[in-house]
Structure 1
Amino acid sequence: MFLTQLRRMILMASSRRVAIVVIYRFAIWLSAVIPLLLGSGYAYAAAAPPWHQFWKAYQQYFIDPASGRVIDWHEGGITTSEGQSYALFFALVDNDRPLFNKLLSWTQDNLAQDDLGKNLPAWRWGQRNDGPWGLLSTNHAADSDLWIAYDLIQAGRLWHDPYYRQIGLALARHIAQKEVLDMPVAGPMLIPGGKYFRPSPETLIINASYLPLPLLASLAQAMPDGPWGKMAETLPAVIAGSAPHGFSPDWVAFNPQKGYFPAPQGVIASYNAIRVYLWAGMTNPQTPGAGKILRELWGMSTYLHSHPAPPLKVDWQTGKAEGEGPSGFSACLIPYLASLHEDDLLQVQLARLQSKYRPGTGLYGHPPAHYYNQNLALFALGWYENVFRFGIDGNVIVRWQKHHKDSSTVSHSSISAEHGQYDG
């Protein structure tokens, strides 16, 4: 593994002097990696549980079993539409319909005025300054809305229940009406949430992590008259235009005349953008556009050839990186590196993540466990362990779906628990 890494780095060198610098950097990289692999990393790797146990630990810590509310303890016990949307997906992947129904009921009752088919969910719920608990914002998070619509449509397909599909399609239509803007040149684009993301009639603020390609591909199939197919087609161009150094930004502004330029939120790529690599890595490689998206995100894999940890933040305009990202960042890069066939780099990130496992909590990272990092790890490890995969058409393929043949995804690709890759 280490010799392969060194050989690759030397081959990239353009001169003897550069080769010496490369070897020096490799020594630094190796000194950081060895403790991960020979120290606590192996100890925790042996104790790290399979995905289903990890998901149960997450439920015990973050989900109220009586109501189905996902609680972000780091933010004062709030609940977000993001947390609900991710938990719905994991409950479906786990074939836990009772939990799915609790999560859905709480989301409808508290975030969507009792009806997700008619109302977009508010994004933030918690204790108000004056004491009562309720909505803290009536704004919406478009990515969470997309995930909820997707979760419901997939639940209807896998559990053979048209009720879920009906609500999911109604929500998807509402998103298309309220959160999609048809931009000149670029076509339909997702508005992240509210007026704050459209500073002028000609300018839109974009977050590429809000646009997982499998979701767009699946929604395009379920709702052919919607904007999703066109959005899936243009997504590779969005990522290419906003990642000049191969690093996707958290936020970027787009104007048909100016193209992509810094958003008011700044030029940082960090906690939002890390999901772009996660979604790209989990996308079925045969989905149209998947390969181009991976190629446009070259900056991260290049960086990891000389660094043992992903950066905490990157200036997407210059490519300047700094800091070390948390365990969830390493988790996001596991599917990404697997899809790039960067096996050596993948093992380093996997070891780094496993070194953060805490048997006492069953979660990753120093207590108190961070909600966001756990969700990133649930996605990454669920995919890596073949608990779920995405078909060419974006539909989710789950391990418990062994004899389910109602979708073309099953004939296109099936889950291989032994090899961690697609068959066929």
Structure 2
Amino acid sequence: MSLRKSTSTKGVGRLFGRSLLSLALLVPLAAKAAEGCSVQNWPLWKNYAERFVQKDGRMLGSSMDPNQSSSEGQSYGMFFALIANDPETFDALWRWTRDNMAGANIAQNLPGWLWGPTPAGTWGIIDRNSASDADLWFAYSLLEADRLWKKPGYRADAQRILDNVQKTLIRDIPGLGKMLLPGPVGYEHPDQLWRFNASYTPIPLLRRFSKELPSSPWKEVAESTAKMVADKNMNRFGFVPDWVGYRGTDVNKGMFVVDKFTNALGSYDAIRTYLWAGLTSPADPLAKPMLDNLDGMAQSTASTGVPPEKVQVLTGATEGVGPYGFSASLVPYLRAKGLPLLADQQLRLVDQAIAHFTDPADPAYQQHQYYHVMLSLFALGWSENRYQFNKDGTVKVSWEAACASKP
């Protein structure tokens, strides 16, 4: 900025002084805005990422082996990095996934679900079968990363994933409607039998895909998911199984049946169905019907103070004590069902467990606990108002306003 030649030296001094004062007043505001728009201080995610996310973007650990990596873990990590406003970690997780699990060609290949040491002594994909729940979380996180961070390349990748999923994994099931197969192999049988998993299709994600692609089948998949949860052939006591079968009985008819591989057990997969129901926006037309059909877990937890580890959904019989990840999953669900005291009780159990997991002096620190920490991150992030899902499936993050107002 230049001054007019007619301005006196004294005038210049006054102007310069006022400019310094204005700058001094603006610095704290700018610093505050920058702080609000920086990587968020999320201690649990920071602790986990520092310990288990490598510099190249591979997340160590799966539910099976801490040396392995799963597409589920990579996709969850991307969502948490988005919530933490950490684009560097997000990008590393996605690049590693795309290059190693999808053969660097996401348009052609859905990510194989498991990567690690192979029987041949090398490192690579152990199982190329994709897991469609991870595919959905990848696509969702990429869409929202573009919306929040203005990264159109992410949106293009998300659309490639969704196009691939729609072409290969969506089926029109007789008497049910459009539905998502859990993966390309092993879930569709020649005798009109399909296998499904209610925890693979969170309603907020399906709403976001419908917003992105209005003519897509995702709205119908959401409605079919709600039918699956409510079906009284399987849901007799307000519980859902890990896996459920569906048999076509005619061209336009069918019925849910017991999954022949896992029977009628509800446990480590099913617990996420309660979590997703609790996280769904209360303004969503499917939120209340879903919650109304999931009374069993709330009643069981209220009677014992802890969720059961296993449920026989056809009899309502429960077994064991659910680990802290189960308690975490129920916090949003119990709040959504109007049971805040019971939710607070579960939250205390989670806080106690997490304190052990994050303390280097505690023996529990050496235990990987992948799945329970992931479930806790979903639940605690929501409880701490770090994120909420909107009716249209977009995510409302705590840092969005600060970044929108950043100079």
Same fold, judged at TM 0.5 (above): yes
| 1:225-240 → structure 2 map (5 Å cutoff) | 225-240=215-230
* 1:251 paired to 2:243: yes
Q: Which runs of 5+ in 1 are unaligned?
A: 1-49, 406-424
Q: How far apart, in 1, do the equivalents of 2:338 and 2:192 lie?
A: 40
* 1:142 paired to 2:141: no
Q: How far apart, in 1, do the equivalents of 2:41 and 2:129 lie?
A: 33
The structural deviation recorded for 1:235 is 2.1
* 1:199 paired to 2:189: yes
Contact 2:277 2:290 in 1 (8 A): yes
Over 3 Å counting, the alpha-carbon distance change for 1:365 and 1:240 in structure 2 is: farther
Larger displacement relative to structure 2 (77-86 or 114-123): 114-123
Secondary structure at the aligned position of 1:204 is classed as: strand
Q: Which runs of 5+ in 2 are unaligned?
A: 1-39
* 1:366 paired to 2:364: yes
The structural deviation recorded for 1:109 is 0.5
Contact 1:357 1:365 in 2 (8 A): no
Q: How far apart, in 1, do the equivalents of 2:41 and 2:263 lie?
A: 36
The structural deviation recorded for 1:195 is 2.8
Task: Let me know the Cα RMSD of the aligned residues.
Answer: 2.0
Q: How far apart, in 2, do the equivalents of 1:365 and 1:93 lie?
A: 29
Q: How far apart, in 2, do the equivalents of 1:400 and 1:239 lie?
A: 34
The structural deviation recorded for 1:403 is 5.8
Secondary structure at the aligned position of 1:256 is classed as: strand
The structural deviation recorded for 1:176 is 0.7
Aligned letter for 1:261?
V
Query: 1:299 matched to which residue of 2?
Result: 296
Over 3 Å counting, the alpha-carbon distance change for 1:169 and 1:332 in structure 2 is: same
* 1:346 paired to 2:346: no
Q: How far apart, in 2, do the equivalents of 1:121 and 1:245 lie?
A: 36
Contact 2:204 2:392 in 1 (8 A): yes
Query: 1:105 matched to which residue of 2?
Result: 95
Percent identical residues: 38
Query: 2:76 matched to which residue of 1?
Result: 86
Query: 1:43 matched to which residue of 2?
Result: none
Query: 2:149 matched to which residue of 1?
Result: 159
Q: How far apart, in 1, do the equivalents of 2:149 and 2:189 lie?
A: 42
Contact 1:327 1:365 in 2 (8 A): no
Contact 1:205 1:251 in 2 (8 A): yes
The structure showing larger relative contact order (alpha-carbon pairs under 8 Å, at least 6 residues apart) is 1
Q: Which protein shows a greater Rg? A: 2
Q: How far apart, in 2, do the equivalents of 1:342 and 1:369 lie?
A: 31
Aligned letter for 1:401?
E
Q: Deviations over 1:156-175 (max 9, x none)?
A: 11111211111101111110
The structural deviation recorded for 1:365 is 9.4
Q: Deviations over 1:273-328 (max 9, x none)?
A: 00001000011000121110011001011112211110000011111101001000
Secondary structure at the aligned position of 1:366 is classed as: helix
Aligned letter for 2:246?
F
Secondary structure at the aligned position of 2:136 is classed as: helix
Aligned letter for 1:309?
V
Contact 1:186 1:256 in 2 (8 A): no
Q: How far apart, in 1, do the equivalents of 2:227 and 2:115 lie?
A: 35
Alignment length, in residue pairs?
356
The structural deviation recorded for 1:229 is 1.1
Q: How far apart, in 2, do the equivalents of 1:358 and 1:113 lie?
A: 39
TM-score in terms of structure 1 length:
0.81
Q: Deviations over 1:62-92 (max 9, x none)?
A: 211x211011175141001000000000011
